[in-house]
Amino acid sequence: MTAVDISQHPGHLARRLQQAHHLLWTTMVSEETTSPQFAVLNVLAAEPGLDQRGVGERVGLDRSTIAEVISRLTRRGLLDKVRDPQDGRRFLLRLTEDGVRAHRKLAVRTARMNQVFLAPLSAEEQTVFLDLIRRVADAAEGFRHPAEPLLTPP
């Protein structure tokens, strides 16, 4: 049996990229607030009053994951849940004052971390790289759920 060159496997490279991101995140941004938690804070800084579903869609998190992230941020006092006056079953989310302060601090640190993360690339390469991984990530939104039949290659 011949070994394959995993350096050409997107999943292997994505895992390595995620490891590098995680290391930079925990050393340069926060050990307490995760990248997905920051994404939620960031969305609500831009669009206060979204519901849980809307936040999850904007940050690309599934229902159970977004519920847990919102629960953690609420327990930490960074988010408030307010019952929607139009629909009593729905809760709208807003940053608390602590959440606004945390978001500001994390946004500055995240910008610095992204500079370090992308430093091996020229400005033009950074633009192309981000466009390419965004396209793959967007396409992945349509991949099957594990319980669904396997996708057939094009």
Fold for domain 32-140?
Answer: Arc Repressor Mutant, subunit A (1.10.10)
- Contact between 103 and 42 under an 8 Å Cβ cutoff? The reply is yes
Are 35 and 25 a contacting pair, CB within 8 Å? yes
Residue closest to 35 by CA, chosen among 27, 7, 154:
27
Model confidence pTM above 0.75 = yes
DSSP state of 138: H
Largest CA distance in the chain: 64
Q: How far is 83 from 150, CA to CA, in rounded Å?
A: 40
Contact yes or no for 66/59 (Cβ under 8 A): yes
pLDDT (tens place) for every residue of the chain, 154 residues total: 888 899 889 999 999 999 999 999 999 999 999 999 999 999 999 999 999 999 999 999 989 999 999 999 999 999 999 998 888 888 999 999 999 999 999 999 999 999 999 999 999 999 999 999 999 988 887 775 555 555 555 5
